[in-house]
Amino acid sequence: AVGAVWPGDVAFPDFMNSATVTWWKEALTQFQSAVGFDGLWLDMNEIENFCEGVCYADQRAAAGAGQKARLAYVPTGRDLEGNTIDLDAVHVLDDGSTVTELDAHSTFPLLESKASHEWFAEQGKRTMIISRSALAGQGKYASRWLGDNHST
């Protein structure tokens, strides 16, 4: 999926696909060679998007999708596509099956953290990953940063 944050257009890797995990690990290896690092801060990994759902009309799901319209209950009553990607975005799994963003949204930080953790292990390095967003069980792979808060 393509969204927008501070630099402009951004792509969100689909960590539900093993080819993405391979690509991510190769990118980490290249980055390690270029600058060297001992840890990762996975910021904006709740698929933050400054567009509401889709940024471009051609990203809109085919007619008949409409996951948002079929929801019987909307937690908090807020627009679930506010500041994230379209709930109808489709993830293609390794076996060719698909799952919509509505059903997979919260897995992104977990799967990104897991892929990053695996890379550190493959390098024989101790894992040091801080994730902005998290899903239950993610503590196995990364620590969680509590985000921008204004506590006193």
Residues annotated as part of the active site: 43, 46, 148
**35 burial type by CB count under 10 A (0-12 exposed, 13-18 middle, 19+ buried):** exposed
| Distance (Å, whole) CA 133 – CA 146 | 8
Token output for 101:
């963003």
In single-letter form, the type of residue at position 10 comes to V
Token output for 62:
């085919």
Please, what sign has the CA dihedral across residues 101, 108, 12, 16?
A: negative
Neighbour count for residue 54 (Cβ, 10 Å): 19
Count of alpha carbons within 13 Å of 8, Cβ hemisphere only? Answer: 0
